[in-house]
Amino acid sequence: MQYPRIIAHRCGGGLAPENTLAGLRIAARLGCRGVEFDAMLSADDVPLLIHDELLERTTSGRGPVAATRAADMTRLDAGSYHHRAFAGEPAPTLQQALAVCGELGLWANVEIKPSAGREGETGRIVARLAADFGEVLLSSFSRDALREAAIAAERLPRALLVDSAADDWLRSVGDTGADALHMAVELATPERVHALNVAGIPVACYTVNRRETAAQMFAMGVCAVFTDRPDLWAVDEM
């Protein structure tokens, strides 16, 4: 599994509305080869790009994503909260986002982001859809979602997301059938990264918004970083 070294967080990082097609296009214009975004199911089981279980923070809608039909979600304004220049930017479906990634030649990390109680079905549906596209890595904090994704699309690589050092990461990766580990940058130490690499587990870190921090991560053996500031890197570093 080959990672781009610099991956735009939530499509375009902080340079565009998160989880939008506008973000993907901005990332590509900057020379990014890799992007990451979140996929959650609508009320009618369509995966759409959104991070929160509620619509309010990033769209013009109100209420739970899980109670909103896809057709209604895609009519919402998902751009104005970021800047009026993006007014009217819609919340895209996962299918639309992966199609744009294909057009732009972008490697994609789809984070499976289930709403409460929908872990398994979200993993299955997202994996089946993603299997029809090119370079796609699936990741999730939800172990149930990863296990179901492995069943639904065995060929797609998968990464376990962690934000705590409390777990035995090697065992957790094995239990979920994951191929890699994505950890909060604050958790990365030379000893932890080395132990994972020795076990053949690639490590990527989120969210890294300083070149100096990224250099430290790469020196430890981290293979990639997720960033809100892809503009800080030159094309040949991505």
Strand partners, 230: none
Structure tokens at 187: 């958790």
**Which helix (H) or strand (E) covers residue 123, if one does?**
helix 119-130
Say whether 51 is catalytic.
yes
* Beta carbons within 10 angstroms of residue 62's beta carbon: 10
The β-bridge relationship of strands 47-49 and 34-41 is antiparallel
**Cα 233 to Cα 34, 49, 88, 174, 224, distances in angstroms:** 13, 25, 29, 34, 13
CA distance 159 to 164: 15
Task: Exactly one of 9, 83, 182, 194 is catalytic; name it.
Answer: 9
35 in Cβ contact with 228 (< 8 Å) = no
Q: Is 40 helix (H, G, I), strand (E, B) or coil?
A: strand
In angstroms, how far is CA 226 from the centroid of its own chain?
9
**Which helix (H) or strand (E) covers residue 10, if one does?**
none
CA distance 17 to 196: 34
- Residue 159, phi then psi, degrees to nearest 5: -130, 140
CA distance 38 to 9: 10
Classify residue 115 by its DSSP letter.
P
Task: Tell me the residue length of the chain.
Answer: 238
Task: Exactly one of 51, 82, 83, 194 is catalytic; name it.
Answer: 51
- List the catalytic residues: 9, 51
